[in-house]
Structure 1
Amino acid sequence: MSKNLVSLSNEVDEKILKMKDKVKTTKRKANPLKLLGLFFAALTTILVGLSNGRVNLSTYSLITSALLTLVVGLESHFSYQEQWARQKWTLLKLYQIQN
């Protein structure tokens, strides 16, 4: 192999290792926001359903729905799921270059 080809191969290997770490990190960031959003949505629904004449849970359901809006806004702003998909696609292309 020529010197340039070896250098290019080493660079691709290095990029693959970096991209693998990025993919794992992004996936770890995406999942908690999704789960937190689901939790607040379910809790809001339960609190609204449990409210009756004697116990007023509407304040708590309002708070949980506001938190749900915040979590969904953060998820939308950072768009970890889209980042993860792009990074996985890039990693796949790097593997194709490597082979």
Structure 2
Amino acid sequence: MVQVADLARRSGTAPRTFARHFTQPAGTTPAHWLIRQRVAEAQRLLETTDLAVEQVAARTGFGTATMLRRHFARVVGVPPTSYRRTFAGSPAGA
């Protein structure tokens, strides 16, 4: 899974330089942006698959279900299992 250091390396800059140039136009740090992207992918997987939370964590780069739960709840406001229940039986979750 992509890390902030990987993004800096791909841009040909040092991590601190990359962060400085990224933060101004994006309005957030590269790390926070990356977390939000991972949470968005986790939301999609929770809505459209029956993968276990542990599998969603692995596929989205969080590594562990604990880390997914922590970041997911902070960004979305509810734990992943509650989020998934919201979409149970909906056409998007089918």
- Which structure is higher in RCO with an 8 Å CA cutoff and minimum separation 6? 1
- Please state which structure has a larger fraction of its residues in helix: 1
The answer to whether TM tops 0.5 is no
Interval of TM-score (by shorter of Structure 1 and Structure 2): under 0.3
